[in-house]
């Protein structure tokens, strides 16, 4: 079933919307959730909450790119779940990813105006647009999909060390790009 | 970890959709599989039986044992000395749910698509295929679950299928009374609806199961219409057999069929079921159902507590959890819905203080809620729910002849007016419904829900929550298990979780 047909089911309040979403994108959502949370139960909870959210948001929303739209919900819910659970020393995937992202954070003392996440997203997108296809893919799969570094390295036939070096350079590049735009967090 | 890195995470979440999509498409070209979660199932079974006899037959019904797991059965083969195979139903083949650890991405993808495409075809039934059925489900739930006191469990979908088959072997006013009850204006409409409902509910992929299996057991001393047996086979997936009812081997084949269809879960019970030598025909329907909570309860959070039963307080184990989910309410009840993996859901309905479940089932809004599919209910809020549910194991036995009479199906049990002419070239003279019983059992625990029902018919309130809702089932309540179609497989009342 194509995305428009699935979205029409949501608009018609037809419960098949959720099962069709699961059939088409359940695997994708689970992989994003699991990569971030690394706990099966949490990932499953996250994905099912995503479907509930989708049911609540559509209508009135009509996402143009349904997969990315679902993935963003998964990421938001995963962060909430991580915040709820991280005191239990779980979710190593998120710990590692956030730790790496510290490198990208452009900061200064006495920040006056904080940027919102959508504006930040646009700035990061502009920076991603300057990268080679490979680098852009590696960065998105690592930090948006949450694919572990070793998995990514295996998947694309690069050594993990080499990829780690590449990622470090990309994070620093992002930080520089954001600083040039005078974006501080 | 700093708040700032979380903000960066949020920022990355909001990068352009096009960039995200392009990266996914590139990733899909990779030959290695992404991480994928394991999937598991728990089995439960329901069985419903329908018999037709020229004289009163006996039936014994009791608690049905249930256990985890199920296996796929085949069926009694043709050519057995004690039973002649008249018609054999062939079930749709659902590819097994693919395992998550394939080293070959393309192979996994191919298996997943085969599974998904098959289920999609099964679910894609003609528009309006459940039209009219709400009338039957509504009236039968209200009538059959009425009464006072103990636990009760009823399987509306099983009775629908059994009555559908009964309509095929009757005619005239006898058939009309059944059609009226089932909300159908013609036998053709019923046939089409029953067939679609059967297919739309069908699930047997090695992980989850919901199979409505039917069979017909004929007395070889009577003649029967092959056309009718073929019809039951094609539209109701009913296999039919003929033999001598008093014969031990024929009886054993009958019992084996029941055990096979219920994966041996009913063994202790089935050993007491016998085909009466005087019977003309016995119809049996089974529903084999397996369900595992999508969000299981943690056994660590299960605590002993008090349930306020009408007969006095009892102590039982309460499963507890707190999580975000949809919370529903009406004038006289509150409810939540717990999804079962790829196999429907269970609604738990708590009457407001001072209202009994039996009273609530007479409330039109509650019945409307029971008939509402999935989340499509007017009073619905997504919020944090603090939930406490008793582990329960409830069963009951219902005399359906009396209930069917109350529902307007009377001719079928009166041999002086009943019309069974389609059943036999001899006209089916003198055949009547002598006894009809449904026994059922439902059990839930931290992992999931198990349910079983067996029917034999023989011929011869709450307010909108503020952010967080408490849902504490420490007094009598109603439950409903729906399949993937949203139609009611089981509805019941729990007055005492440990009775």
Q: How far is A185 from chain B (nearest CA, A)?
A: 6
Which residue has 């992929």 as its token pair? B205
Structural domain harbouring B157: 44-125+149-292+393-459
- In a domain, residue B48? The reply is yes
Q: How many domains does chain B have?
A: 2
- The strand pair at B44-53 and B279-292 is best described as antiparallel
* B416, B418, B422, B423 alpha-carbon torsion, rounded to 10°: -80
Choose the closest CB to A56 out of B36, B382, B484: B382
Both tokens of B229, joined, read 């047996």
Low-confidence ranges of chain B (pLDDT < 50): 28-79, 101-102, 458-463
* N residues, chain A: 185
> Treating both helix axes as pointing N-terminal to C-terminal, what angle do B156-168 and B226-236 enclose, rounded to 10 degrees?
150
CA distance B428 to B280: 9
Clarify whether residues B324 and B192 are in a common domain. Answer: no
Clarify whether residues B182 and B277 are in a common domain. Answer: yes
How open is the CA angle A108-A114-A116, to the nearest 5 degrees? 135
- In a domain, residue B32? The reply is no
Residue A74 pLDDT level (bands cut at 50, 70, 90): very high
Q: What is the pLDDT of residue B490?
A: 87
Show Cβ contacts of residue A130 under 8 Å, excluding neighbours closer than 6 positions. Answer: A177
How open is the CA angle A4-A142-B29, to the nearest 5 degrees? 55
Mean pLDDT, chain A, whole residue set: 83
Give backbone dihedrals phi and psi of B300, rounded to 5 degrees, phi first.
-65, -25
- A55 chain-B contacts, CB cut-off 8 A: 375
As a whole number of Å, the CA-based R_g of chain A is 18
Say which residue, B104 or A50, is predicted with more confidence: A50
Residue A6 in this model has a pLDDT that exceeds 90: yes
Q: What is the pLDDT of residue A152?
A: 81
Q: Enumerate the CATH 1.10.1740.10 domain ranges in chain A, comma separated.
A: 3-90
Q: How far is CA B365 from CA A81, A141, B288, in A?
A: 36, 49, 30
Clarify whether residues B222 and B303 are in a common domain. Answer: no
- In a domain, residue B267? The reply is yes
Q: How far is CA A28 from CA A181, B24, B38, in A?
A: 33, 9, 14
* N residues, chain B: 499
Contact A4/B at CB under 8 A:
no
Residue A100 in this model has a pLDDT that exceeds 90: no
- In a domain, residue B31? The reply is no
Residues 80-99 of A with CB under 8 A from B: 86, 95, 97-99
Which CATH class for the A3-90 domain? mainly alpha
Q: Enumerate the CATH 1.10.10.10 domain ranges in chain A, comma separated.
A: 99-180
Report the CATH fold assignment for A99-180. Arc Repressor Mutant, subunit A (1.10.10)
Clarify whether residues B54 and B101 are in a common domain. Answer: yes
Residues 164-183 of A with CB under 8 A from B: none
B339 strand-pairing partners = B345
Contact A123/B at CB under 8 A:
yes
Across the interface, whether the CB atoms of A137 and B26 are under 8 A apart is answered yes
Q: What is the pLDDT of residue B36?
A: 24
Q: What is the pLDDT of residue B465?
A: 54
- B35 chain-A contacts, CB cut-off 8 A: 30-31, 34-35, 151
Clarify whether residues B192 and B230 are in a common domain. Answer: yes
| CATH code of residue B304 | 2.30.39.10
Mean pLDDT, chain B, whole residue set: 78
Q: How far is CA B139 from CA A89, B150, B370, B396, in A?
A: 53, 21, 12, 19
Give backbone dihedrals phi and psi of B456, rounded to 5 degrees, phi first.
-125, 130
Choose the closest CB to A101 out of B8, B14, B35: B8
Clarify whether residues B106 and B229 are in a common domain. Answer: yes
- Interface test mutation site (partner B, options A101, A111, A115, max chain B beta carbons within 10 A): A101
Clarify whether residues B397 and B387 are in a common domain. Answer: no
Clarify whether residues B385 and B403 are in a common domain. Answer: no
Q: What is the pLDDT of residue A104?
A: 79
Clarify whether residues B213 and B340 are in a common domain. Answer: no
Nearest chain A alpha carbon to B118: A23
Across the interface, whether the CB atoms of B14 and A122 are under 8 A apart is answered yes
CB contact burial B82-93 (16+ within 10 A = b; e otherwise): bbeebbebeeee
Please compute the mean of the pLDDT values over residues A25-46 and round it to a whole number: 85
Residue A108 in this model has a pLDDT that exceeds 90: no
Clarify whether residues B303 and B376 are in a common domain. Answer: yes
Clarify whether residues B405 and B326 are in a common domain. Answer: no
- In a domain, residue B133? The reply is no
Clarify whether residues B247 and B164 are in a common domain. Answer: yes
């Amino acid at each position: 079933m194509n995305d428009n047909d699935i979205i029409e089911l949501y608009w018609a309040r037809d419960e098949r919307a959720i099962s069709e979403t699961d059939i088409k994108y359940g695997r994708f959502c689970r992989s994003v959730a699991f990569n971030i949370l690394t706990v099966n139960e949490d990932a499953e909870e996250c994905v099912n909450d995503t479907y509930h959210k989708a049911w609540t948001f559509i209508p009135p929303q009509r996402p143009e790119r349904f997969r990315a739209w679902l993935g963003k919900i998964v990421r938001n819910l995963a962060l909430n779940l991580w915040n709820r659970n991280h005191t239990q020393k779980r979710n190593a995937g998120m710990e590692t990813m956030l730790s790496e992202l510290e490198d990208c954070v452009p900061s200064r003392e006495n920040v006056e105006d904080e940027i919102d996440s959508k504006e930040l997203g646009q700035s990061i997108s502009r920076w991603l647009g300057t990268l080679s296809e490979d680098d852009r893919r590696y960065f998105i799969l690592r930090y948006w999909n949450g694919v572990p570094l070793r998995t990514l390295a295996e998947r694309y036939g690069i050594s993990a060390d080499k990829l780690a070096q590449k990622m470090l350079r990309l994070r620093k590049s992002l930080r520089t790009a954001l600083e040039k735009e005078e974006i501080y967090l | 970890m700093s708040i700032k890195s979380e903000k960066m995470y949020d920022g990355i979440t909001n990068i352009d959709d096009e960039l995200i999509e392009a990266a996914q498409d590139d990733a899909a070209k990779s030959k290695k599989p992404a991480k994928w979660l394991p999937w598991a199932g728990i089995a439960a079974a329901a069985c419903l039986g329908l018999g037709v006899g020229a004289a009163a037959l006996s039936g014994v019904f009791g608690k049905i044992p249930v256990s985890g797991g199920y296996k796929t059965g085949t069926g009694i083969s043709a050519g057995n000395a004690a039973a002649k195979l008249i018609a054999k139903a062939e079930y749709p083949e659902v590819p097994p749910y693919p395992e998550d650890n394939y080293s070959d991405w393309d192979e996994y993808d191919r298996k997943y698509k085969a599974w998904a495409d098959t289920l999609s075809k099964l679910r894609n039934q003609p528009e309006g295929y459940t039209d009219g059925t709400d009338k039957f489900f509504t009236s039968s739930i209200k009538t059959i679950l009425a009464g006072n006191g103990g636990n009760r469990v009823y399987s509306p979908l099983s009775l629908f299928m059994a009555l559908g088959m009964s309509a095929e072997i009757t005619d005239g006013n006898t058939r009309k009374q059944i059609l009226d009850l089932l909300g159908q204006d013609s036998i053709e409409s019923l046939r089409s609806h029953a067939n679609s409902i059967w297919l739309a509910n069908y699930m047997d992929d090695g992980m989850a199961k919901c199979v409505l299996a039917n069979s017909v057991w004929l007395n070889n001393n009577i003649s029967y219409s092959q056309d009718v047996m073929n019809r039951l086979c094609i539209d109701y997936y009913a296999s039919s057999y003929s033999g001598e009812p008093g014969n031990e081997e024929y009886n054993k084949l009958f019992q084996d069929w029941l055990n096979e269809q219920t994966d041996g879960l009913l063994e202790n019970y089935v050993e007491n079921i016998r085909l009466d030598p005087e019977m003309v025909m016995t119809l049996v329907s089974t529903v084999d159902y397996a369900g595992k909570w999508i969000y299981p309860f943690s056994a660590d959070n299960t605590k002993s507590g008090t349930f306020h039963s009408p007969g006095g307080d009892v102590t039982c184990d309460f499963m507890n959890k707190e999580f975000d989910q949809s919370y529903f309410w009406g004038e006289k009840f509150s409810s939540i819905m717990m999804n079962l993996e790829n196999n429907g859901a269970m609604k738990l309905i708590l009457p407001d203080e001072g209202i009994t479940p039996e009273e609530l089932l007479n409330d039109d809004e509650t019945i409307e809620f029971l008939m509402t599919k999935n989340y499509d209910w007017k009073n619905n809020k997504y919020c944090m729910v603090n939930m406490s549910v008793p582990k329960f194991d409830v069963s009951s036995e219902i005399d359906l002849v009396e209930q069917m009479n109350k529902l307007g199906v009377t001719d079928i049990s009166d041999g002086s007016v009943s019309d069974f002419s389609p059943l036999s070239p001899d006209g089916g003279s003198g055949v009547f419904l002598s006894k009809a019983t449904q026994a059922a059992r439902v059990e839930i625990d931290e992992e999931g829900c198990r349910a079983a029902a067996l029917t034999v018919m023989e011929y011869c309130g709450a307010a909108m929550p503020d952010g967080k809702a408490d849902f504490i089932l420490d007094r009598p309540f109603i439950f409903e298990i729906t399949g993937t179609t949203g139609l009611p497989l089981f509805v019941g009342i729990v007055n005492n979780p440990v009775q």
